[in-house]
Amino acid sequence: MKAAVYDEFQQPLTIRDVPDPAPGKTGVVLSVKSCGICRSDWHGWMGNDPDIKLPHVPGHELSGVVEAVGSDVRLWKGGERVTLPFVCGCGTCEQCISGNQQVCDRQFQPGFTHWGGFAEYVAIEYADTNLVRLPDEIDFVAAASLGCRFATSFRAVVDQARVTAGQWVAVHGCGGVGLSAIIIASALGSKVVAVDITNDKLELATSVGAAAVVNARTDDAIEAVREITGGGADVSIDALGSPETCFNSISCLRKRGKHVQVGIMEAGQHQAVIPIDLVIARELEIVGSHGMQAHRYPEMLEMIRQGELQPQKLIGKTISMDEALLGLTEMNSFHSRGLTVIDRF
């Protein structure tokens, strides 16, 4: 099969022929139909993920068709249209048994712990626990856009933040995760303040549901959010992942507000400074959010099927796997609008 491979961190990817994968006993092989290009893939390429072993094939936002099935797989026969979370649970550890596959003790992550979807085929472990059947109304490109950013945002907004109608929600960073969070929070009836440093991203945020925007390059993000919301956001989400956006997100909360950290920090920035004086004085809550379990997908997919959520609004362009060679390495330039999805292999 053809795959996009890098042999060293921060070095160019190349398209090459590699052996076709075979399914493990509990796994399947998917014929990849679409795969998103995500900033998390860029973090991996930069060398920020210790799970990655070289050479490596990135790509964790997958959709495709079940091509081959392992001997112990019960729920899949072949030919099904599917997607999956970027964190796949083993199904048997303490976390998985409690329903928290997103923090599985033995998690499988295509594109990180194993080769991913920048390829014609990909092997997926723990298929019965992690594969999600796609409704006919959702095409492969839209499904690939769910895999990390939209599903991650759904869990962050719905399960971790527990956003309700009428709340003020601040979203820091209007990339894929941030824009997804804006769509979802708006659909739940909240009022969203979008924060970014570029006006085109803020225009896009407004188009997908933001009630107000703040350009953090020209304005004091903390004070602007507190003024717009009349005292601070009820929920604030760091959807980018930087010391500045994390600090701003916590600082812009009203009393007893909740900060949700979704964005991943770059290497060397993981020990970010937080305003602990405000955390205590305002009784703030700080919560992490890491992916979403396969068993939580049906609620999200039904909202998409009913037209309540429209992730397709976030798709900026589709490209070939050849074009993805530069698309990944330039991911941190923040020049693109919307999500980029590989749909030609």
> Quick one: 141 and 161 in the same domain?
no
Q: Give the torsion through C-alpha atoms of 40, 122, 310, 314, to 10 deg.
A: 40
First and final CA of the chain: distance in angstroms? 10
CA distances 196 to 150, 200, 247, 282, 304, Å, are 18, 9, 14, 25, 26
In this predicted structure, the answer to whether residue 336 has a pLDDT above a threshold of 70 is: no
> Quick one: 221 and 337 in the same domain?
no
Q: How does DSSP classify residue 271? A: S
Distance CA 82, CA 216 (A): 39
Q: Range of 300's domain?
A: 2-150+292-344
> Quick one: 121 and 16 in the same domain?
yes
> Quick one: 215 and 244 in the same domain?
yes
Cα 44 off chain centre by: 14
In this predicted structure, the answer to whether residue 193 has a pLDDT above a threshold of 80 is: yes
> Quick one: 42 and 129 in the same domain?
yes
Q: What CATH number is attached to the domain comprising 165?
A: 3.40.50.720
pLDDT of residue 334: 53
pLDDT in tens, 281-311: 999 999 999 999 999 999 999 999 999 999 9
> Quick one: 133 and 19 in the same domain?
yes
> Quick one: 66 and 162 in the same domain?
no
Q: How many CB atoms lie within 10 A of CB 288?
A: 11
Model confidence band, residue 271 (pLDDT cutoffs 50, 70, 90): confident
- Which residue from 148, 188, 156 is spatially nearest to 172, judged by alpha carbons? 156
In this predicted structure, the answer to whether residue 267 has a pLDDT above a threshold of 80 is: no
Contacts of 139 (CB under 8 A, 6+ apart): none
Q: What CATH number is attached to the domain comprising 65?
A: 3.90.180.10
In this predicted structure, the answer to whether residue 335 has a pLDDT above a threshold of 80 is: no
pLDDT in tens, 232-266: 999 999 999 999 999 999 999 999 999 999 998 87
| Residue 251 falls in which region: left (phi positive, over 0), alpha (psi -120 to 50) or beta | alpha
Are 120 and 5 in contact by the 8 Å Cβ rule? The answer is no
pLDDT of residue 98: 98
Q: Which amino acid, one-letter code, is at 60?
A: H
Contacts of 220 (CB under 8 A, 6+ apart): none
Please report the sign of the dihedral spanned by the C-alpha atoms of residue 175, residue 83, residue 341, residue 325: positive
> Quick one: 273 and 296 in the same domain?
no
Helices (H), the chain: 39-46, 94-97, 127-130, 140-145, 151-154, 176-187, 199-207, 221-228, 243-251, 276-281, 297-305, 321-329
Number of compact structural domains in the chain: 2
pLDDT in tens, 142-167: 999 898 889 999 999 999 999 999 99
> Quick one: 137 and 164 in the same domain?
no
